[in-house]
Amino acid sequence: MKTEANVRVRARGLLGSALAKAAAYLVMGTFTLMTVYPLFWLTMNSFKTTREFQVNMLGLPMDPTLENFRMAWEFGEFSKLFPNSFIYTIGTTALVIALSVLAGFAFAKIPRRVTKWIYGSFVVGILLTINTLMIPLFIEVTILGIYNTRLAVLLVYVGAGLPIGIYLSTEYIRGIPTALVESARIDGAGYFTIFRRIILPMAAPVATTLAILQICSTWNEFALINILVSKTELKSLPLGIFKFSSSLSTDYGKQFAALVIGMAPMLLFYVAFRKQITRGVAAGAVKG
C-alpha cells in the first residue's frame, strides 16, 4: 500500500481523537496479549520439569532444562515424523501445482464445451469439504488395498487440494491475453509447447499462492491422515504429537516440549514468508 493512500484513509474527527486511539490500542493490545500469552506460556513451560510445572505454572523456569525435548523427541519418534511430513507436504504441493496449472491452462485457453461441466465440478468441490468423506475414503483405500501407504495419503491430499488449485489457476490464466496463445498457434506451436514456453513462466505468482496455501494446510493436516495411516513409519507430525495427549496427559514437561517441536517449523515458515502467506490466504479464502 502506498503511503499517500494511507494518509487519506487515516481516520479524522471524533474517530481520530486521542480517546479513540487509546481505545483502539486497548482493544488491539488485549487481543494480541491473549493471542501471544498462551503460546509464550507453552514455550516457557516446556523448559520446566513436570515437577516444577506443578508448583510453578505461571513463573519463568527457575532451572531451565532441555531434558523434556530430548525425551519428547525420543518418545514421539520425531526423527521419523519429520521426514514424513516433508514428503507429504512437498509431494502434495508439487503435484497440486503441476496438475492445477496444467488443467487451468486447458480450461482457460483451449475452448471446449465440456469445460463448463468439468471446471464447474472442481469449483463445486471447493465448498465440498473432504473431511465429511473421511469414512468412505477409509473404506475406499481399504478396498483398494492402499491403507497404510504413502500413496493413499498423497492421493487424498492432492485430490483435496485440486479444487482451490484449479480454481485459482484457471482464473489467473484467463487473465493472460489469449492473443499470446493464438499467435503462437498461428506459428504452428502445439498446446504443450505453448504451455511450457508462455504459460508456465507467467504462472509463477499463482504457483506461489498455491504453494503457500498447500504447504500450510498439508503440514498441519490431521483428520484425513488419521484414518489413512496407523504405522508410525508413515505418520506425519500432527499424528505423532497427538500421541502425547492421552498417554502422557500428566507428564506435562514432555507434552509441552512435543507441542513446541510441533509448532516451531510453521512459526519459522510464517516468520519467513508472512507477506506471501497473508496474501495467499486472502486470495485462497475468496470462495472457499
Partner 1 sequence: MTHAKRIDREAGRAYWMMILPAFLIYLAVMAFPIVLSFILSISDYSGGKMFGENAEKWSLVGFAQYLRVVRDPWFWNALKNNLYIVGISVFGQLPLGFVFAYIIYRRLVKAPGFWQGVLYVPNIISIIVVGLLWQSIFSPNGPIAQVINDLARGEFQGKLAAIMDGVGHLDLSDGALSRILDLGGQAARDMFTDPVPELRDLLSSYGAEEGAMVVNDLTNLLVNRWTPEFLNVKEVAMLPILFVILWMYTGMYLILFLANMQKIDAQIIESARIDGANEMQVMRHIIIPALTGTIVNSAILAISGSLSSFALIFALTGGGPGRITEILSIYMYRSAMSGSRDYPLANAIALIMVVISILLIVLTKAIEKRWGGKEE
Site for partner 1 in 96-155 (CB under 8 A): 99-100, 102-103, 105-107, 110, 112, 118, 121-122, 124-125, 127-140, 143, 155
Kindly give, in sequence order, each residue whose CB lies less than 8 Å from that of residue 211, ignoring residues fewer than 6 positions away.
Answer: 93, 97
- 272 binds partner 1, rule: CB under 8 A: no
The piece of 67-75, 172-180, 203-211, 259-267 that touches partner 1 (CB under 8 A) is: 259-267
Residues 211-250 that bind partner 1 (CB under 8 A): 216, 219-220, 222-223, 226-227, 237-238, 241-242, 244-245, 249-250
- Answer yes or no: are the C-beta atoms of 46 and 68 closer than 8 Å: yes
Alpha carbon 211 to its chain's center: 9
Q: What is the distance between the alpha carbons of residues 243 and 251, in angstroms, rounded to a whole number?
A: 12
78-109 helix and 237-246 helix, angle to the nearest 10 degrees: 140
The piece of 63-71, 86-94, 202-210, 276-284 that touches partner 1 (CB under 8 A) is: 276-284
Question: In the complex with partner 1, which residue's Cβ is closer, 66 or 270?
Answer: 270
Residues 46-105 that bind partner 1 (CB under 8 A): 54, 57-58, 99-100, 102-103, 105
Q: How far is the CB of 79 from partner 1 (least distance, A)?
A: 18
Give the residue among 7, 173, 183, 35 at the shortest CA–CA distance from 104.
173
Binding mask 163-192 for partner 1 (x = CB under 8 A): x--x-----------------------xxx
Q: How far is the CB of 160 from partner 1 (least distance, A)?
A: 7
Q: What is the distance between the alpha carbons of residues 264 and 43, in angstroms, rounded to a whole number?
A: 10
Q: What is the distance between the alpha carbons of residues 177 and 197, in angstroms, rounded to a whole number?
A: 14
Give the residue among 69, 52, 40, 84 at the shortest CA–CA distance from 238.
84
**For residues 38, 44, 45 and 51, what is the CA-based torsion angle, rounded to 10 degrees?**
-150
Residue whose entry in the numeric block shows the C-alpha cell 507477506: 275
The piece of 2-10, 60-68, 71-79, 202-210 that touches partner 1 (CB under 8 A) is: 2-10
Question: In the complex with partner 1, which residue's Cβ is closer, 90 or 134?
Answer: 134
| DSSP string for 39-72 | HHHHHHHTTS-HHHHHH-SSSPPSS--SHHHHHH
Binding mask 24-43 for partner 1 (x = CB under 8 A): xx-xx--xx-xxx-xx-xx-
Q: What number of chain residues touch partner 1 (CB under 8 A)?
A: 106
Question: In the complex with partner 1, which residue's Cβ is closer, 134 or 176?
Answer: 134
Question: In the complex with partner 1, which residue's Cβ is closer, 11 or 204?
Answer: 11
Q: How far is the CB of 214 from partner 1 (least distance, A)?
A: 14
Question: In the complex with partner 1, which residue's Cβ is closer, 36 or 204?
Answer: 36
Backbone angles phi, psi at 189, to 5 degrees: -80, 140
The single residue among 60, 204, 272, 285 that binds partner 1, judged by CB under 8 A, is 285
Q: What is the distance between the alpha carbons of residues 167 and 283, in angstroms, rounded to a whole number?
A: 11
